Amino acid sequence: MTPPDTPMPLRERLAQTRPLLAPGIYDALSALLAEQAGFEALYLSGASIAYTALARSDVGLTTATEVKAALARITERVRVPVIVDADTGFGNARNAQRTVRAFERAGAAMIQLEDQTFPKRCGHLQGKGVVSTAEMCGKLRAALDARTSRETLILARTDALAVEGPEAAFERAEAYLETGVDALFVEALRTREQMLAACARFASRVLLLANMVEGGHTPLATADELGAMGFRIVIFPGGTVRALAHALQGYYASLRPHGGTGPWRERMLDFDGLNEVIGTPALMETGRQFAG
């Protein structure tokens, strides 16, 4: 598959009834490969930045500056819309406003904000806490006020299910919806019944996101299956890094005893192959055009 000549704006794409499948990315190369595979949107995962840039868990160690820098490099290289994980907004309502402005300038199509306390952690780890509903609603209103274009969408995530139970999480989602956000994300739904309950309550009124985490709390399903339930956005945020880590474990385990890449040659791009993927011929031609 190849990316469309003119990617559809995210708001326009989300007006369609078929679910949007957005793979997790963490840098410009992963974004480019996903775009070349034909995906219509990408999800810049805060967890995946922590995994790859820090080799650490998603426990609030990454900063707004680090995420913004990764986002800017990605949007400079690809044209498809990028949904970006902004964690808690990296502070209070004022911090959330600054984050939204910075991420919007860096090219974000949708910005996700969650209601965890600091330090936040992956939604599928234990021991989370959540701020009050009133505080989160204030943060969301501040975020909506900070954006300069209505084409920059705001996604509200609640992690309250693990802390307060499903009904409390749904009540929070109701309050967040009332602030005017463009989409909702109830994190770590435990069962298919909870997933269907979330869709029954919200899918007719707002875009709902489903988060698929291999080994996480939410039952795994395909984009089509989730779309049939009522979800409109489907992300596999960390699958990219889990696949990468598995591949590199195998590569290094082969390279060390063999002293060469022969056994892995068929599972690798060669020098010319990688240069073709990243567009080296076109880049060199551009250089020639502007040479003195």
Distances, alpha carbon 146 to alpha carbons 2, 117, 120, 149, 151, in Å = 35, 21, 23, 9, 13
pLDDT in tens, 177-194: 999 999 999 999 999 999
For residues 29 and 14, what is the distance between their CA atoms, to the nearest angstrom?
25
For residues 138 and 11, what is the distance between their CA atoms, to the nearest angstrom?
24
pLDDT at 60: 86
Distances, alpha carbon 220 to alpha carbons 174, 185, 195, 226, 234, in Å = 25, 16, 11, 9, 11
What are the structural domains, with CATH classification, of the chain? Answer: 10-244 (3.20.20.60), 262-292 (no CATH)
pLDDT in tens, 153-184: 999 999 999 899 999 999 999 999 999 999 99
CB 110, CB 232: distance < 8 Å? no
Token reading at 283 = 């880049």
pLDDT in tens, 92-140: 999 999 999 999 999 999 999 999 998 776 656 676 789 999 999 999 9
pLDDT in tens, 52-77: 999 998 888 999 999 999 999 999 99
